[in-house]
Structure 1
Amino acid sequence: MKTIPTSMAAVLLTGHGGPEKLEYRTDVPMPQPQADEVLIQVEAAGVNNTDINTRLGWYSKAVTTDTETASTNGGQDTAGKDASWSGIPLTFPRIQGGDVYGRIVAVGEGVSAQRVNDQVIVRNLMRHYVNYRPYECWTYGSECDGGFAQFAVAPSNESYSVHSPLSAPELGAISIAYSTAEGMLYRAGVGAERVVITGASGGVGLAAVQLAKLRGAHVTAICSQEKADPVIKAGADRVIDRRADLSAELDAKSIDVAVDVVGGGGVNKLLAAL
């Protein structure tokens, strides 16, 4: 095993606001795995809307605008009182990054040394740090440091071993989008049915297309026409332009499941098609 350095490169979030709040540094102290934790050498870390939203302070109850508006305004003046997933003020500097794929290089007390060299994906919405209590939220890269760094610490039991031919960037994009999509499909009990998926070209939408096809569903995807090709490649049987009138495109009672990751004015038309 290679010698682990004492410092690393990382992107630090220094406060709520615009991109100027992100600082790249090469002298960040190496994190140390505590009991039940592992140290991961990060090979890929996905970037998601939640990283932007956390930086902006968008999760505060005081924010009533959409992400794009908040971003245009350079973030919200939330004073950090509740601008996190948990509603607890973030502490800065914070290393963001909720999607992580990498290799375990060291372990903390209580973790088998056999885990060293495991290739792992880290669970984003963690249960370990809240002692598996229901209805409490501990989000990787928000309530604790995440993967926008060369190394990251995570609970061993939420760092899942991976044996896959997929590339590091592909594996580094799985945790947030695919677990969100899987949760929706699982709750809906999706099988070999007629499924409509909105926002199908986005991270969660595209994951839902792929996961629904794995269940044998006939998938109608809604997205911009210029993004239709990758959505079809992902498995969609039909694509409807997001600017089209859904009432004209979907007959009443013509679908079994609506996987809606967009919301807004199209909800009633989706309900009518169910």
Structure 2
Amino acid sequence: MKAIVHDTYGPPEVLRLEEVARPVAGRGEVLVKIHAASVDPGVWHLTTGRPYLLRAAGFGLRAPKARVRGTDAAGRVEAVGPDVTRFRPGDEVYGTCKGSFAEYACAKEDSLAPKPANLDFEQASAVPVSACTALQALRDGGRLKSGRRVLVIGASGGVGTFAVQLAKAFGAHVTGVCSTANTDLVRSVGADEVIDYTQEDPTDGARRYDLVVDTGGNRPLARLRRALTPRGTLVIVGGEGGGKWIGGTNRELGALLLSPFVGHRLRGLVATQRHSDLALLTELVEAGSVTPVIDRVYPLADVPAAVQHLREGHPRGKIVVRV
């Protein structure tokens, strides 16, 4: 089968299209024929091997342990391994796989769900990682309740567009932060208010929010806290900067250390993708409350360009790979 592989860490150019052996579903696994996959920041970090903390976490110190990149996926079940009870061959599914930039990939049964009936495969592949991250940031990290005021920083990005829609679905008043070019997009996905960060500082303290979700910026904790009500919550979702060793985790570590000593709840987020959350997202998508935003679609051979665009192009929503 064809797959995007790499044997060394480096820029997107180290990724290449190659013929590899088709995987075999093990116990509790599902073999999926991939129709579409999507690109998330984790792909960039696993390709470059930065921050170095990621290598120490088990992804390979000198070279990547897993040759095939890609996590988000949508496709049809080709085969199931022993003990799989939820799916059978022919089922249309979406979720996360091991190496989804390929014609076939294996997934744990619990990391898949039936594909939303009103989405095609490309749209469905945009959902799992980013929408689960947004859901867990709001519901688990932010303990969001109806009527609360929410600020989403990075509202036009992959996680941000889902965070705006999910916060609205939960009954919140949502303010999205983005650049001038994306204000109409953020309004179109449901934001009650939009702040253009090139014209106004959303963390100047003029307006305060019960929950601030920062989906990948680099604003320091002190500035982010200025946007919180006295008992407000900050959830940091990823981030850039922090150097080659720990990357954007420096702010999450700072939040963890500071939170016990201040009135604010300061949280980092390590998101997971599981069947129960995917099932909830399916309900919201099929009800029309959540719709994935697609920036552009690349063929499988152009994954290096897709990863580069993610890093440099400030995509509006998600970047998808057609397999």
SS in 1 for 2:4: strand
SS in 2 for 1:101: strand
Same amino acid, percent of matched pairs: 33
Matched, 1:54 2:46: yes
The 5 Å alignment of 1:102-141 reads: 102-112=75-85, 115-123=88-96
Matched, 1:230 2:202: no
Matched, 1:149 2:102: yes
Partner of 1:173: 126
Q: Indicate if the aligned counterparts of 1:15 and 1:93 stay in contact, CA closer than 8 A.
A: no
Whose RCO is larger (CA < 8 A, sep 6+)?
A: 2
Distance change >3 Å, CA 22–CA 87, structure 1 → 2:
closer
Distance change >3 Å, CA 251–CA 12, structure 1 → 2:
same
Q: Indicate if the aligned counterparts of 2:24 and 2:106 stay in contact, CA closer than 8 A.
A: yes
Distance of 2:116 and 2:218 partners within structure 1: 39
Q: Greater shift after overlay, 113-122 or 197-206? A: 113-122
Distance of 2:180 and 2:217 partners within structure 1: 19
Partner of 2:68: 95
Distance of 2:33 and 2:165 partners within structure 1: 29
Q: State the Cα deviation string for residues 138-165 of structure 1 (Å, max 9, x = none).
A: xx5xxxx410001101112322223420
Q: Which amino acid aligns with 1:108?
A: G
The 5 Å alignment of 1:1-274 reads: 8-25=1-18, 27-61=19-53, 83=55, 86=58, 88-89=60-61, 91=64, 94-112=67-85, 115-123=88-96, 145-186=98-139, 187-191=141-145, 192-246=147-201, 251=206, 254-265=208-219, 267-274=221-228
Provide TM-score, normalisation by structure 2. Answer: 0.64
SS in 1 for 2:17: strand
Which sections of structure 2, spanning at least 5 residues, go unmatched?
229-323
Distance of 1:42 and 1:85 partners within structure 2: 28
SS in 2 for 1:41: strand
Q: Greater shift after overlay, 11-20 or 219-228? A: 11-20
Distance of 1:59 and 1:178 partners within structure 2: 24
Deviation at 1:85, TM superposition (A): 5.1
Aligned residues: 225
Distance of 1:273 and 1:58 partners within structure 2: 30
Q: Indicate if the aligned counterparts of 2:203 and 2:224 stay in contact, CA closer than 8 A.
A: no
Q: Indicate if the aligned counterparts of 1:57 and 1:84 stay in contact, CA closer than 8 A.
A: no
Distance change >3 Å, CA 266–CA 196, structure 1 → 2:
farther
Q: Greater shift after overlay, 41-50 or 163-172? A: 163-172
Taking only aligned residues, the RMSD between alpha carbons, in angstroms, comes to 2.3
Deviation at 1:259, TM superposition (A): 0.9
Q: Which amino acid aligns with 1:120?
A: V
Distance of 1:18 and 1:213 partners within structure 2: 37
Distance of 1:209 and 1:31 partners within structure 2: 37
Q: Which amino acid aligns with 2:17?
A: Y
Q: State the Cα deviation string for residues 214-253 of structure 1 (Å, max 9, x = none).
A: 111111111101111111111111111122443687525x
Deviation at 1:22, TM superposition (A): 1.0
SS in 2 for 1:14: coil
Deviation at 1:262, TM superposition (A): 3.4
Which sections of structure 1, spanning at least 5 residues, go unmatched?
1-7, 62-81, 124-139
Distance of 2:153 and 2:81 partners within structure 1: 43
Q: Which structure shows the bigger proportion of residues in helix conformation? A: 2
Q: Indicate if the aligned counterparts of 2:75 and 2:93 stay in contact, CA closer than 8 A.
A: yes
Larger Rg: 1
Distance change >3 Å, CA 208–CA 85, structure 1 → 2:
farther
Distance of 1:232 and 1:247 partners within structure 2: 16
